[in-house]
Structure 1
Amino acid sequence: MNYIDLLTSPDFLISVLAAISVAAVVFTFGSSFVVKTEMRTRIKRVALERDKLRAEEMARLRGSGPIDQRSTMRRQAETKNYMKAIVEGFDLKKAFQDDATVDKLAIAGYRGQGHLTTFLFMRFITPIIIFVLVTAYLFLAPGSRPAYLNVVYGIGAGLVGSYLPVVMLKNATVKRQKSIKRAWPDTLDLMLLCVEAGMSVEHAIKRVAKEIGNQSAQLAEELTLTNAELSFLEDRSRAYENLARRTGLDNVRSVMTALIQADRYGTSVGQALRVMAEEGRETRMMDAEKKAASLPPKMTVPLILFFLPVLFIVIIAPAMIKVFAVQNNPMGG
């Protein structure tokens, strides 16, 4: 059997694409059953962050450097040894890392040195893999293209594929921010109720994190981490600023700024939360009205392409059938 002809045959390619489509459908429907596993992973990640904060606070109180390295060892264990060796060997931090890389990873939900190493490794290895696969396929595919042209096409595909990790990171960021933004107004309402009931800000955040987990696991994770930072950090404003930085949302940043001012100047936290909750509800209503207003222009193209032709067929078809019937039988017999 000629494997080259088999790999380049249209039937084989169609079968492979069909298998990939079926796998994507199964993965899409099966991903809803792994929510508990994802939530367990997030809880473990927050626990590691809490251990790190506790170790730093204990080292600060003792007046020494960071003496507890167990959390660092746990984070380094998340990264494969070969990834770390490649990143350090080729000095990929200078090539791919800038001042905003860590913040972008944090906004997407990837914190720690392990995720940074994995991201840098993927930025390096993805174009190489795509170049090898595309070039090998072009050489195996039937055709009379010159060899240098196949290599040029492979290099072009590799350059385009080098942005694949960035695109995936952007998609993860958008998905995470969308989940947090959707649940944030309800979070403010719950925090307002807790604070007005006599709870402190720490206990209110802890309680709201438990309640909001079913609606947005990402926001529950951030609130739990913020609660840990409020317990261990020396400056409370740093915990609020870190939450705003990790989410990257303007409405979260405005609420954190209000809480910082209330904590700094001694104003009422409940009043600040009440004002920000009202603004959050108004913003959510404005977003809903904006989506409703943009619906008619979006429906214009589907209406023209799909609804109107069917409507014309339903209206004109009976008349056309009668016309054809009269033409085929002019005597009426």
Structure 2
Amino acid sequence: MMVFLFSLSCSLVVFLLFYGFIAKKVRPQSQVHQRLLSIQNGNVTAERKKEKAKGHRKLGDIPFVERVVRPFLQYAEQGVSSLAPKQLSKLIGDHINMAGKANQWSVNEFIAASLLGFISMSALMVVMMSNSSAYKFIQQVMFTLLFGVMGGLMPTLLLNIAIKKRQAVIQRQLPEVLDLLCVSVQAGLSFDASLRKIVARMKGPFVDECRRMQEDIQMGMVRRTAMHNVAKRCQIQDVSLFMTSLIQAERLGTSMGKTLKNQADNIRERRRQYVKGEAMKAPVKIIFPLVIFIFPALFVIALIPSILSFMKNM
């Protein structure tokens, strides 16, 4: 009984120390977070009036998730990301930009999700293997590591799927945007004005990239660098050729209308050839479902009556 009371008191002391440390760290961060949110929403004056009327916010009024869980996750993300190499962090950041998730995902969150997937799948396999004696210790370790690696690679797989989907949408949208740019420039508008109108009236990943390019240029970035960044974020050959042609036209002083017309014709022709190539692959892709699903059904329909009549005559 004395041992139980001693362990319980030690646990209570450790918990109170940990709670006091977290409360001391979280309180100023929560106040700064609330002020930043109020500035973003344009309610600074109202927030100050509320603070003067009600005084400072008490620690008990802060939700448990905001007070304990969110800071713990932030500290864990920072600790995990600090252990990752800089080249890996840069590569993950580039892939997040390619997926168009820069405003939703961060490098720290991605690394933490990968580590969480590895730990979760490994723990699940440890629990499953501990209840089964059919596998040896080496086999249990191998299965645990295998499923742990699979869980750690799951965020990477989802990120690659998002990148491929976005690239496919950009390839479908690029000819339409180029045609509108070509028509607008030939009608007398400048390239910037044409791009501004298209960005204001259209939606899509390539339009978002053009909008980001305009914002970068307005912030002081050189036009060539902004165009290079668009090609780097998209990682599509047609987009790279289009941006390279625009950079060369600006550098050499050639007509922007002719450049856009040539690029629109070339990209439309490449798109037509790509569609023809995919259509030529269709007969080959149909063979497998034809052999696996359609031929057995045809054989059943054609041969079963003959077999039944033959067995009846015998």
Please confirm whether the aligned pair reaches a TM-score higher than 0.5, indicating the same fold. yes
Give 1:190's match in structure 2, choosing from 177, 180, 198: 180
Shift of 1:200: 2.0
Task: Write the distance in 1 (CA, Å) between the matches of 2:237 and 2:191.
Answer: 21
257-266 or 202-211, which deviates more: 202-211
Shift of 1:102: 2.2
Q: CA RMSD of the aligned region, Å?
A: 2.4
Answer yes or no: is 1:285 the counterpart of 2:272. yes
TM-score (norm 1): 0.67
- Structural mapping, 1:41-60, within 5 Å: none
Task: Write the distance in 2 (CA, Å) between the matches of 1:113 and 1:168.
Answer: 14
**CA distance 1:302–1:113, change in 2 (3 Å):** closer
Give 2:117's match in structure 1, choosing from 126, 148, 151: 126
Corresponding residue of 2:248: 261
**CA distance 1:206–1:290, change in 2 (3 Å):** same
Corresponding residue of 1:239: 226
Shift of 1:279: 0.8
Gaps of 5+ in 1: 1-47, 49-79, 328-333
Shift of 1:129: 1.4
Shift of 1:146: 5.0
Task: Write the distance in 2 (CA, Å) between the matches of 1:160 and 1:125.
Answer: 12
In our comparison, the structure showing a higher alpha carbon Rg is 2
**2:78/2:108 contact within 8 Å kept:** no
Task: Write the distance in 2 (CA, Å) between the matches of 1:209 and 1:255.
Answer: 17
Task: Write the distance in 2 (CA, Å) between the matches of 1:280 and 1:125.
Answer: 43
**CA distance 1:93–1:104, change in 2 (3 Å):** same
Q: Give the AA of the match of 1:294.
A: K
SS at match of 2:106: helix
Task: Write the distance in 1 (CA, Å) between the matches of 2:122 and 2:310.
Answer: 61
159-168 or 144-153, which deviates more: 144-153
Task: Write the distance in 1 (CA, Å) between the matches of 2:142 and 2:300.
Answer: 50
Give 1:163's match in structure 2, choosing from 153, 158, 166: 153
**2:93/2:106 contact within 8 Å kept:** no
Q: Give the AA of the match of 1:220.
A: V
Of structures 1 and 2, the one scoring higher in RCO (CA 8 A, sep 6+) is 1
Corresponding residue of 1:53: none
Give 1:115's match in structure 2, choosing from 102, 106, 120: 106
SS at match of 1:267: coil
Answer yes or no: is 1:206 the counterpart of 2:196. yes
Task: Write the distance in 2 (CA, Å) between the matches of 1:145 and 1:99.
Answer: 41
Q: Percent of aligned pairs with the same residue?
A: 25
Alignment deviations for residues 252-302 of structure 1 (CA, whole Å, 9 cap, x no partner): 011011111112222111111111101111111111111111111111121
Shift of 1:161: 2.5
Q: Give the AA of the match of 2:284.
A: P
Task: Write the distance in 1 (CA, Å) between the matches of 2:71 and 2:254.
Answer: 51
**2:96/2:105 contact within 8 Å kept:** no
Task: Write the distance in 1 (CA, Å) between the matches of 2:105 and 2:298.
Answer: 57
Count of aligned pairs: 245
Question: Structure 1: which 4+ aligned runs deviate by more than 6 Å?
Answer: none
**CA distance 1:255–1:284, change in 2 (3 Å):** same
- Structural mapping, 1:60-79, within 5 Å: none
221-230 or 176-185, which deviates more: 221-230
Corresponding residue of 2:18: none
Give 2:94's match in structure 1, choosing from 103, 112, 120: 103
**CA distance 1:157–1:202, change in 2 (3 Å):** same
Task: Write the distance in 1 (CA, Å) between the matches of 2:276 and 2:266.
Answer: 15
TM-score (norm 2): 0.70
Gaps of 5+ in 2: 1-39, 41-69
Q: Give the AA of the match of 2:185.
A: V
Task: Write the distance in 2 (CA, Å) between the matches of 1:289 and 1:204.
Answer: 31
Task: Write the distance in 1 (CA, Å) between the matches of 2:77 and 2:278.
Answer: 44
